[in-house]
Structure 1
Amino acid sequence: MRILLFSVLLMTSLLSFSQRKKKDVIIPQTQEDSLKLEGVIVEAEKQLILENYAKALENFHVAMEMNSQSAAIHFKIAEVLAKSNEGQKALPYGLKAIDLDPENKYYRLGLARIYQSIGFYIDAAKTYEELLEKFPSEENALYELAELYQLTGRREDMFRVFDLIEAQLGVKEEITREKQRIYMKEGKLDNVIAEFQKLIDAYPNEASYKAELINFLIQNRRLDLAAKAIEEYESSESASSRITLMKSELAWMNGERAKSLDLLEDAFETSSIDFQSKFQILSNYLGMKPNPAERSILTQIAVKLADHHQDEFKAQAFVGDLLYQDGKSQDAVRYYLNSVNLSPANYSVWQNILNIEADLSQYDSLVIHAEKALEYFPNQALLYYFSGTGYLIQKDFKKAVRMLEQGRKYTIDPKLLTVIYGQLGDAYNGLKESDKSYQAYDKALMNGPNNDHVLNNYSYFLSLANENLDKALEMSTRLVEQHPNNPTYLDTHGWVLYTNGKFKESKKYLEKAASLDEDGTVIEHYGDVLFQLGEVERAIKQWEKARDLGNASELIEKKIADRKLYE
C-alpha cells in the first residue's frame, strides 16, 4: 500500500495581524505600514508560485523585519527553504512558527515534513505524535506518521497507528492492503484472511472483496475455506459467470480437471466476463502445467476467444504462440498475421512469422513479410537477413546483396554476422563476383570459423573455380571431421579431393555420400570419380541413375551417350 500524502493547507491569513491578541506581536502602526507589508507579502507569494525561491525568500525576510512576531511569515520562510532543499536552514523558522502559534496544526505538519526531508525521522515522529495529542483525529498526521514508521521499519508503532486510523476513521482499504502485504511477507496467511474479512464486514455490498478472498484462498490452497466462501458468496449473489470461474479454479486445484475445464468453457460462453479477464484466466490455466489433452482443450477455448475477438491483437498473437508451440505452424501464421495487421509494431510476432515461413520454405511470403516488418523496425538486422535469404533462394542475387549488405551494418551479434556474411558469399557467387564472394566468406569465418554452411560452400566454389585448392581442401576436411555422416558435406569433400586429383580418396567419400543421399548431383560426382579410376561400366550406371533422379549436370546425356567424361 502507498500511504497517501497530503499537502499542507495554510489556513492562517498572512495579513490578519490586527486581529492577533498576543502581546509580542508587532502590529503596524499606520495604514501606510499595513499596505506596505501587504504589498511585500503579495510579491513574496507571487515569487513562490513562480518558483523563484530566492526572490520569495528575500521578500519574506523583508516582511519578517516589518513584523518579526508573525508565525505565518516564519512558517512561509521555512516553507521556501524546504522547497529549496535547505531543510536544515528551514528548521529554526518552523520551530519559531510553532512557538508563536502552538495551536496551529498545519505548522506542526509542515515541521514534521521538514524533519523527514533531512532524515531526522525520530524528530518527525515526535512532532506527529505531539500533533496527535492535540488533534487526535487529524487524518493527515495519522497517515503520515504511519508512513514514517513504515519507512523506518518500526512495525509495532506502524500497526499501533493503523489501529488508531481504523478506530477513528473506520476500516480503510489502503491500510488493510499494507497490513496484508506485511502479513504475507511474514507468512501469516490467517492474518491476511482476517483482514479480508474485516473489509467484507465493513463493506458488505462490495462483492469484489468477497471474490478476492476466494481467489486468495484457492491460490494458497485453503480449499475447504474456499469452498465454504464460494457457498456464502453464491447465497448472497445471483448466479454469475464469476462464480462459475471460481468453481472451475477450485475444481482444478482439487484435481478435478475435467470438471474444471467444463466449468471454464461454460463461463467463457457468457459475455459478462470481459476480454482482458478471459485472457488472463487462460494464461493462468496454461501456466498450471496442463497435460496434452487438457492443453488441447485450453487451446480450443483460446481459439474461440480469438475468433470472437478478432479486433484484439493480443488474442491473435496468443493463439499463434499456442499453435506454434504445438507444431501447427501454418495455422499459427494465420493468427500471427491477424495480430500484426492489428498492431504491426510487435517485433516478436514478426520474427515468429518469418521463422515459420523460412522453415516451410515459403520464400515469396518471407520476402513480403520481412520487408513489411522493416517498415516498423528498420534497424533490425534479422529482418534484412530474412529478406536477403528469401531473395537468395529466389536467385534474385542483386536484391539479396542489397538487403544483406544493409543488414550487416546493423548487426552486433557475432553469430548473426557470420550467417549474413555467409549468405553474402553465396549471393556474390551468384553474381559471378568471385572476389567479393571470397571476401565475404573469409569475414564469415573470422566470426565463426566452424560454420558448416560457409565451409561447405566456400570450399565447393573454390573447387569449381579450380582456385586455392589447398585452402578448399583444408576447409572441406574440417567440415567432414565435424559432420562425418552428412551426405552433402561428404560430397563436397569428395569433390574437392577429386579436383585435387586425389581420386582414390575422393571415391571413398563420394561413395559414402551416394549411399546416404540419392541426389542427382551426388550420384553424378560418384560416377565421375569411378570413370577417372577406370571403372567405366560402373560410372555409366551411376550417370544413368543421376539422370533419372534429376538435378544432374547439363552434360549428363552426352556423358552417357559418348561413354566419356565431360567437365
Structure 2
Amino acid sequence: MIKGFILIFLLGASATYCIAQHNKAKSAAIIVTGKVLSQADSNLVKELFFDGLHEKIVNNFQRASTNFNKVLEIDPANDAAMYELANIYHTQNQEADAERLIRMAVTVQPENNWYWLLLADIYKQTQNMAQLVPVFDELIRLSPANEDNYFDKANALLMQNKVNEATAVYNSIEKLYGSSEDLSNARQRILIQQGKPGKAAAELEKLVISNPSDLGNYLSLSEIYAKSGKRDQAIAVLQKAALADPANALVRLSLADHYRALNKPDDAFIELKVAFADPNLNIDDKVRIILSFFPQFADYKARAYADELASITAKTHPDDPKAFSVYGDVLYQEQKYSEAKEEYKKALVLNDQVYQIWEQVLRIDITESKFKDAITDGEAALAIFPNQAPLYLFSSIAYAQSGNHEKAIAYLKNAADLETENKDVISQIFSGMGDSYNALKRYSESDQAYEKALAADPDNSYTLNNYAYYLSLRGENLEKAAKMSKRSIELDPGNSSSEDTYAWILFRLKKYADALIWIEKAMISGKVVNAVQLEHYGDILFFLGNKEQALLQWTKARQAGSASEKLNQKINEKKYIE
C-alpha cells in the first residue's frame, strides 16, 4: 500500500518554516505530492539522476532536462532533480519554469542553502524585489553569520524605496558585526537617496578622520561635494588625498575632472600628466582620455595636450602596442606623418596582427609619395591579411606610381574579387584600373574600367576628371568628356586639375574663348602653376590669335620642367603642333 504525503509552499511567505512562524498565505499554494518508492523505482531514479548530471556536465541540456523530468515523474518530491532542472531553466532565461521548480524544491527541503540562493538569483533576474526580501530572511536563518545576506536584504528593500526598513537592517548589522566601511557607504547611499547629502558628507568626514590612509573615502567625499555643487570643497578634499599619496592616479584623474568642469584646462592637464605617469593606471583608460581630445583638435592646446599625454603613455607602457598606436594616431591627426609612421611601426613590432595599423602605415606611405616603402609595407601586410581589399588597393597605387602598371592591375583585380559591397572602395578599384590600362594604351579596357567605377559611384570627381581627360587626349567622345569634366568641377569646385581638364576639353571642342576662362581659373586656383597648364595656356592663346603670349607661355612651360619634343617644336616653329 503506497502512502502519500503533501508539502505546501506559499507565495510571499518563506516555505514551511515561515508558514509555521507567521501563518501568512499571500497567494495560491503549490502542492507537492510525494510517494514511497519501490526498490526498483529507487534504483531507476538514481540512474536517471546521475545520467542527467552527466548530460549537464557535457552541456547537453536537452537530454539532461529529459532525465530530470523522468525522475520527477517517478518521484514527484525529488528536490535534487527540481533544483537541477530549475538551474537549467535559469541558465536558459526560462525564469517562470525555474521559479516554479525551485519553489517546489525549497518546500521539500527548506534547509538547503543552495536552493534559496538559486531562488534569490531568479528574483534578482526578474527584478521581483518583494519576493526577494523573504528569501534573504531564509538565507539569514540558515547562515546567520553571513553578513552579505543582511546587506542584500537591505538593498532589496531600498530598491522598493523602503528606506526605514533598510535602515533597520543596517542597524542590525552594526549590532551584530560592528561598524565598517561597507556599512558606512551603505548608509551614505540612503542619505543621498533621501536627499540628505550633508549628512552623507558628515559620515564620510568621520571616516576620513578615523582612517586617513584610505583614499577611497576622500574620493567618495569629493563626489558628494561635487554633486552638491560644492566643487571647491571637492577639490580641497582631493588635494589632501594627493598629499597623502602624490602618485595616486585615481585622485589625479578626479582632480582633472573637477578642473575641467571649472574650465581650467591647464590645471586639469597637470593632473593628467601625473596620472598618466602611473604604469598601474589601465592603458585603456589612458587611450580613452587621449581620444577625447580629438574632437577639440582645432585648438592647438588640445593637440599639444594629447601629444604629450600620448608620449607619456608610450614611455610608461613600452611593451604595449596600444601605447604606440594611440601616439601614432595623435601624430597622424597633427599631420606629422613620418613621426606617426615611426610609432605605428613600433606598435607592429610588438603586435603585427592589428590590421588598422597596417592600413594607416600604407596610407602615410602613399600620402608622402614613398611608393617603394608602400610596396614593401603592402607586401608585409598582405602576408598577414591576404583577404583585405584596401591593402591591395594601396599597393596597386604604389606599383602604378612606380610605373609597374601590369602589377597594379593584377592587385586591383584581387581587390575587386574581395570587395563586393563598399561602393567607395569599388569605385577606387576600377578607377585605378582605368588609369593603369590607359597608361598601357589599352584604351578599351580603360574605358570599361572607368564605366564600372562610375556605376559604383557616379559622383566620384577624381574618376570623372581622369576619364574625361584621357578621352580628350585621344579626341574621343568629347561632348561626353565635357559633361563629365564639368560635373567634376561642380563636385569639387576650385580644383585646379579639374579646371585645367575642362579648359583642355573646351579647347579640343574649339571653344577657345571659354577655354581661356577656365585655364585662367585653373592657374589662379593652383598653388603652383605647372608645366602642363602653361602649355595648355599657350595653345589656347595661339588659337585666339595672341601668338606672342602663346610663345611666352610655351617657354615658361619648358622652364617649369617640361621636356617634351612637341613643346620644343612649338617653341622653335612658333606655332601650335597637334
In the superposition, the TM-score normalised over structure 1's length comes to: 0.73
**Separation (CA, whole Å) in 2 of partners of 1:116 and 1:490:** 71
The residue number in structure 1 matching 2:11 is none
- Verify: 1:430 aligned to 2:434, yes or no: no
- Residue among 562, 568, 571 paired with 1:557: 568
The residue number in structure 2 matching 1:365 is 373
- Residue among 456, 480, 490 paired with 2:465: 456
SS at structure 1 position matched to 2:144: coil
1:71-127 CA-partner distances (Å, limit 9, x unpaired): xx64335324534644476378547526xxx7x364972795598499794884475
Query: Paired residues, what number?
Result: 521
The residue number in structure 2 matching 1:529 is 540
Kindly state the Cα deviation for residue 565 of structure 1 after the two structures are TM-superposed.
3.4
The residue number in structure 1 matching 2:577 is 566
The residue number in structure 1 matching 2:15 is none
1:332-359 CA-partner distances (Å, limit 9, x unpaired): 2221221222223334433433333333
**Separation (CA, whole Å) in 2 of partners of 1:455 and 1:227:** 60
The residue number in structure 2 matching 1:420 is 429
Kindly state the Cα deviation for residue 260 of structure 1 after the two structures are TM-superposed.
6.4
Q: Is the 8 A contact 1:384 1:403 kept in 2?
A: yes
- Residue among 85, 88, 97 paired with 2:108: 97
Q: Is the 8 A contact 1:543 1:556 kept in 2?
A: yes
The residue number in structure 2 matching 1:476 is 485
Kindly state the Cα deviation for residue 325 of structure 1 after the two structures are TM-superposed.
3.0
**Separation (CA, whole Å) in 2 of partners of 1:285 and 1:170:** 44
Matches within 5 A, 1:175-190: none
| Change over 3 Å in CA distance of 1:196–1:415 after alignment to 2 | farther
Which consecutive unaligned segments of at least 5 residues does structure 1 have?
1-24, 65-72
Kindly state the Cα deviation for residue 141 of structure 1 after the two structures are TM-superposed.
5.4
The residue number in structure 2 matching 1:319 is 327
In the superposition, the TM-score normalised over structure 2's length comes to: 0.72
The residue number in structure 2 matching 1:8 is none
Kindly state the Cα deviation for residue 198 of structure 1 after the two structures are TM-superposed.
8.0
Q: Once structures 1 and 2 are overlaid, which stretch shifts more, 359-368 or 422-431?
A: 359-368
How much identity, in percent, do the aligned residues show?
25
1:171-230 CA-partner distances (Å, limit 9, x unpaired): 67778778878887888755765675687689x487342353366368656444445545
The residue number in structure 2 matching 1:407 is 415
Amino acid in the other structure paired with 1:82:
A
Q: Is the 8 A contact 2:102 2:119 kept in 1?
A: no
The residue number in structure 1 matching 2:279 is 274
1:219-242 CA-partner distances (Å, limit 9, x unpaired): 65644444554576578x576566
- Residue among 121, 131, 144 paired with 1:137: 144
Q: Is the 8 A contact 1:87 1:117 kept in 2?
A: no
| Change over 3 Å in CA distance of 1:437–1:229 after alignment to 2 | same
**Separation (CA, whole Å) in 1 of partners of 2:387 and 2:328:** 25
**Separation (CA, whole Å) in 2 of partners of 1:486 and 1:120:** 62
**Separation (CA, whole Å) in 1 of partners of 2:489 and 2:188:** 64
Kindly state the Cα deviation for residue 129 of structure 1 after the two structures are TM-superposed.
6.6
Matches within 5 A, 1:115-154: 116=123, 121=128, 124-125=131-132, 127-128=134-135, 131=138, 137=144, 139=146, 142=150, 145=153
- Residue among 100, 110, 116 paired with 1:109: 116
Amino acid in the other structure paired with 1:450:
D
- For the aligned residue pairs, the C-alpha RMSD in angstroms reads 4.7
Kindly state the Cα deviation for residue 438 of structure 1 after the two structures are TM-superposed.
0.8
**Separation (CA, whole Å) in 2 of partners of 1:115 and 1:482:** 60
**Separation (CA, whole Å) in 1 of partners of 2:127 and 2:494:** 75
Q: Is the 8 A contact 2:283 2:323 kept in 1?
A: no
Amino acid in the other structure paired with 1:407:
A
- Residue among 31, 49, 58 paired with 2:53: 49
The residue number in structure 1 matching 2:400 is 392
1:410-454 CA-partner distances (Å, limit 9, x unpaired): 152323332332222111111222112111211222233332222
The residue number in structure 2 matching 1:356 is 364
Q: Is the 8 A contact 2:49 2:67 kept in 1?
A: no
Q: Once structures 1 and 2 are overlaid, which stretch shifts more, 550-559 or 455-464?
A: 550-559
SS at structure 2 position matched to 1:327: coil
Q: Is the 8 A contact 2:235 2:258 kept in 1?
A: no
| Change over 3 Å in CA distance of 1:127–1:27 after alignment to 2 | same
Matches within 5 A, 1:210-229: 210=217, 212-213=219-220, 216=223, 222-226=230-234, 229=237
Q: Is the 8 A contact 1:320 1:336 kept in 2?
A: yes
The residue number in structure 2 matching 1:334 is 342
**Separation (CA, whole Å) in 2 of partners of 1:246 and 1:544:** 65
**Separation (CA, whole Å) in 2 of partners of 1:131 and 1:414:** 63
Matches within 5 A, 1:137-286: 137=144, 139=146, 142=150, 145=153, 161=169, 164-165=172-173, 168-169=176-177, 193=201, 204=211, 207-210=214-217, 212-213=219-220, 216=223, 222-226=230-234, 229-230=237-238, 233=241, 237=244, 245=252, 249=256, 252=259, 273-277=278-282, 280=285, 284=289
Amino acid in the other structure paired with 1:492:
T
